[in-house]
Structure 1
Amino acid sequence: MSQNDYYGGGGGGGGFLQGGSPYSQMGSPGSGQQRSEAASSLRPINSFQYRKAEQPHNDAPWVLDGFEVGLVTMVGHLVSMHLQTTNHVYTLEDGLGRVEARHWVGSSTNAEQEMEKWGDIKEGIYVRLTGFLKSFGGKKYINATYMRPVTDFSEIDFHFLECITVTLTLERGPHYNFGTGQQQNATGVKSSSAYQLDNSMDIRDEYSHLPPLEQQIIRYLISQDQKDGVHVANIARAIGKSDEDADKLSTAMDSLMDNGHLFNTIDDCHFAVSR
């Protein structure tokens, strides 16, 4: 989410792009940086918090109120969308301000899947957006990895309450034993997820409300614990799904993405758990 026309105004020339390539979710693949737990955690934010988020320098993690921020999600009114050759630019309004998001065209190897994933997005509707905070040329935006229409308007109120709950949990500690895992990295920034359960808690306590297939997917991904995620083909083999079950698996994966349990890592085919 941010305010800018990146690449829309031309530019050109070779060499490095200051601020990192906007095509990358997590920065240069050759940087050798290790992602913290917070980088894979989902943080609900509003536009006010989006404006407060800072990145000390190009290679540093984004920080909000002293806590590292990785994957973010927000709900807002899609007031405009501008389709460009290389990317689609979306402007969201949530009552507290506006945010810019960008989806880079061509990142998916399957054009039909791309259309199916983004085809329902239209101006004038409310949407839920998920992505990573990015900056390019001094401009902040959200590198959108997922966006869907909001069909139940109670989700708008729920999102604002969730933002409040997570923020207060991080600031004051959990009301009950749900572990924020507060650790400090080398820069002194707290690496914490309000969704991260204490290691002593049973995984079933967190995901027992999910349908059986979604639970299988989640538990398999947790057992793998791969920072680059797991390919969807490996997930299908691990849970014993055949080609005939492809639609069921796809629906389950979409639902997990929709509810913020999963996110894409190195490409649209690799998935990891948001915790």
Structure 2
Amino acid sequence: MMFESSQFDSTPSFVSSQTADPSPSAAKIRDAQPMHPVTVKQIVGASSSDDDKSNFLIDGISVYNVKLVGMVFDKTTRVTDVSFVIDDGTGRIGCTRWVNDAQDTQELEELTDGIYVRVHGYLKSFKGKRQIVVYAIRPVKDYNEIANHFIECAHAHSSNTRLQKNGSATLASSAATTPSNGQQAVSSSQVSQEYNLDGMGIIDKMVLDYLHLPTSIKQEQGISQNEIAQKLKISQEKIAEAMRSLEAQGEVYSTIDEFHYKSVKA
């Protein structure tokens, strides 16, 4: 499978203006930097760039702009900004989206706890804690986009680490463009070894995250497979397979019948 940038970078359904960040200088720096697909685990493990304190090193590459896919938690709305946490299965990171006008406010109303989103933003460290200042965000409509993002991350990781081993400082394409040597991209099975949570499959993690939502926990009778399939836009067959896997791992249990489940930890 070859990578094309259009596979991953469709136009966001709501994107901030050029003034999304209060600092004009930050916007100029942002626009001059390439975009990197990353996971939270990579951000947490990144080291500071020696030549630029605003950048971080991931796989030996200086990173400023990042794109991330994950589930929203702990949304907090204030007058000037909205903060929330993104959980992508490898960890959690805080995010901030500045609000400049009524359109921004309306767009961010779509942002609710428990939905999957794609965010574009830049990395920032404040009081020793890393976060993402978001300037573009949109809901994920197709769960395949989540798997694609992890494949893209693995491809970039493989390309960049290979370049470092070869002693090259050339930046691997962060937009997941086709490698010039025609090499095939990393397979989804390879992705699961590094980027899945404790060996848990992507769909399993999505289902478990949904069962951990406050609204799901309140349902004493459990959540039906049909509801989860509709909310996550995944086939009932795949949801049933995920439930069997989670039940075998001791993560969930059935309640009123074999089609309703609750998380063991909820």
| Residue aligning to 1:141 | 131
Distance 2:30 2:116 in 1: 31
Whose radius of gyration is greater, 1 or 2? 2
1:89 to 2:79 alignment:
no
CA contact (8 A) 2:49 2:62 kept: no
1:1-275 matches, within 5 Å, as 23-24=22-23, 27=26, 40-56=33-49, 59-106=53-100, 111-173=101-163, 183=169, 192-195=172-175
Measured after TM superposition, the shift of residue 115 of structure 1 is 2.9
Distance 2:55 2:25 in 1: 9
Residues 54 and 165 (structure 1), Cα distance of their counterparts in 2 relative to 1, 3 Å cut: same
TM-score by length of structure 1 reads: 0.49
CA deviations over 1:238-272 (Å, ceiling 9, x no partner): xxxxxxxxxxxxxxxxxxxxxxxxxxxxxxxxxxx
What one-letter code is carried by the residue in structure 1 that aligns with 2:37?
P
Q: Secondary structure at the match of 1:40?
A: coil
Which is richer in helix?
2
Distance 1:96 1:75 in 2: 11
Q: Secondary structure at the match of 2:47?
A: coil
Measured after TM superposition, the shift of residue 44 of structure 1 is 0.7
Residues 134 and 80 (structure 1), Cα distance of their counterparts in 2 relative to 1, 3 Å cut: same
Residues 172 and 113 (structure 1), Cα distance of their counterparts in 2 relative to 1, 3 Å cut: same
Measured after TM superposition, the shift of residue 83 of structure 1 is 1.1
Q: Secondary structure at the match of 2:48?
A: coil
Distance 2:152 2:176 in 1: 15
Distance 1:28 1:194 in 2: 19
Distance 1:192 1:169 in 2: 6
User: CA-atom RMSD, angstroms?
Assistant: 3.2
Q: Tell me how many residue pairs correspond in the alignment.
A: 155
CA contact (8 A) 1:36 1:191 kept: no
CA deviations over 1:38-57 (Å, ceiling 9, x no partner): x5211111110110123246
Residues 115 and 27 (structure 1), Cα distance of their counterparts in 2 relative to 1, 3 Å cut: closer
CA deviations over 1:194-232 (Å, ceiling 9, x no partner): 44879x9xxxxxxxxxxxxxxxxxxxxxxxxxxxxxxxx
CA deviations over 1:109-130 (Å, ceiling 9, x no partner): xx23213432311111111111
Instruction: Extract unaligned runs of 5+ from structure 2.
Output: 1-20, 181-266
Identical aligned residues as a percent: 29
CA deviations over 1:87-110 (Å, ceiling 9, x no partner): 21110111111111101223xxxx
Residues 116 and 85 (structure 1), Cα distance of their counterparts in 2 relative to 1, 3 Å cut: closer
Instruction: Extract unaligned runs of 5+ from structure 1.
Output: 1-21, 30-34, 174-181, 184-189, 201-275
Q: Runs in 1 of length 4+ with deviation above 6 angstroms?
A: none
| Residue aligning to 1:263 | none
Distance 2:126 2:78 in 1: 17
TM-score by length of structure 2 reads: 0.50
CA contact (8 A) 1:170 1:194 kept: no
Distance 1:129 1:43 in 2: 12
Q: Secondary structure at the match of 2:123?
A: strand
What one-letter code is carried by the residue in structure 1 that aligns with 2:135?
T
CA contact (8 A) 1:169 1:194 kept: no
